[in-house]
Amino acid sequence: MELPLSIQQLSKLAESNVSPSQLFGILSQYEADARLVSAGCGSPETGSADPELLSFFYASFFFAHLLTKQIPEARALTQRMPEAIRLQDPCLKNCLILLRAVWQTQHAQVYQILRNLQWPENLQPLVRRYDSFFQDQTLISVSTSYEAIRLPAAAVYLGLDLAAAEQEDPTIIEKFTQCGWKWDSETKLLHPTPIIVPSTVQKATNGIHDAMAMLGNRGG
C-alpha cells in the first residue's frame, strides 16, 4: 500500500478500472487503517475519527466484496464496521439493506436499492459497477435456469422496464435476443440459450492428463 487512506485515494480507486479482485486486495490493506481511524486517530488535521472517510471506506469495501461474490464475508464486514457509524450513517444503512436483498436474492429489490436510494456521489461508480455486474450475473443464471420465461419475468430479473416489457417493447426483446435467446411471438415466451462462462484456466483436458501423469509417476 503506497498511499495513506484518504477520501481522495478512495475516490480514485472507485473510479478506476482495477479488477474486482485487485480492488478488494487494495481495500483489504486499508482496513487496519480504518480501524485505527475509528479509534480516534483520524487525519492529522482533525486528530479524531472521521465519519465521512470511514463511511466511504466501508461502503467501498462492501461493494468490493459484492463484486468478488463474497456475500458471507460482506455480511461479516458489516459486523466489523464501527457500531457508531454502522447504525447512523445513511450510506452504510443502505449497504445493510442491499445486503439483505442480495442475501435473499430479491432481484427487483436489489436494482431498486441500487438505483433509487441515495448514494454518495463519490461512491456512484461502484454502485453503477455493481448494478452492471449483478445484471450480468443474473443474465447468466437465468439463461441456465429457465427453458422458457415470460418477458416481464425476465425483465424483472434484469432490472429492465417492467411496463415496457409487458407491452412487448422491441428494445427490451432485443436485449435478450442479442444474447442468443429466442423470442417466440406466438407463445410470448423467451427461450434462453445457456450462457457458459469460459473457464480462465488452461485447456481442461491437459490438466486431467497432467494430473493422471503425476499420479502415475508418483505411484509407480
Partner 1 sequence: MSIVNDLIAASETLPRSGRISDERYDQKLKDHVTRLRQLLSNNELNHVAHDESLLDQFDPSKDSITYLFLLQLQIHNLRETTSETFPAALLPLGKLWSRSAHYLEIFNPVQVRYAGHEWRQLIELVVQAAQADSKPLLAARLVKGAMLRLDPSCAVFTSTHLLLVQLCLAAKAYTCALPVLEKPIYHIPILPSRSPFRSLQSLCAEYESSVAFVNDTTGLSSTLNSQDYLQYFLYGGMIYMALKKWDEALNYLGTAISMPTKGPISMVAVEAYKKFILVGLLDKGKTCSLPNSTATQVVKTLQSLVKPYLDLAKAFEQGDRIRLEAEIDAAQGIWSADKNTGLVFQVLNAFCKHSLVKIKKVVASLSVAELTAPISPFQGNLSGITESQIASLIMAGDLDATLAHSQLHSSSSILRFKAESLPLLFHENEAHADLQTQGKLMEGLFGSMEQANHRLGLSDEFIDNTVNRQQWPSAGGMKSEMGGATGLEMEEDIMGDLS
Binding letters toward partner 1, positions 56-75, x by CB under 8 A: --------------x-xx--
Question: Alpha carbon of 44 to those of 11, 74, 85, 95: distances in Å?
Answer: 20, 30, 20, 28
- 175: cell is 436485449
Out of 3, 36, 84, 163, point to the residue binding partner 1 (CB under 8 A): 36
Q: Does 142 bind partner 1 (CB under 8 A)?
A: yes
| Sole residue written with cell 417466440 | 184
Residue span binding partner 1 (CB under 8 A) among the ranges 116-124, 143-151, 165-173, 175-183: 143-151
Residue span binding partner 1 (CB under 8 A) among the ranges 14-22, 35-43, 45-53, 94-102: 35-43
Which residues have CB under 8 Å from 53's CB, separation 6+? 5, 6, 7, 10, 34, 37, 42, 43
| Sole residue written with cell 482496513 | 31
- Considering beta carbons, is residue 4 or 207 the nearer one to partner 1? 207
How far apart CA 97 and CA 1 sit, in angstroms, is 31
Q: Does 147 bind partner 1 (CB under 8 A)?
A: yes
Out of 93, 100, 150, 175, point to the residue binding partner 1 (CB under 8 A): 150
Residue span binding partner 1 (CB under 8 A) among the ranges 42-50, 127-135, 175-183, 203-211: 203-211
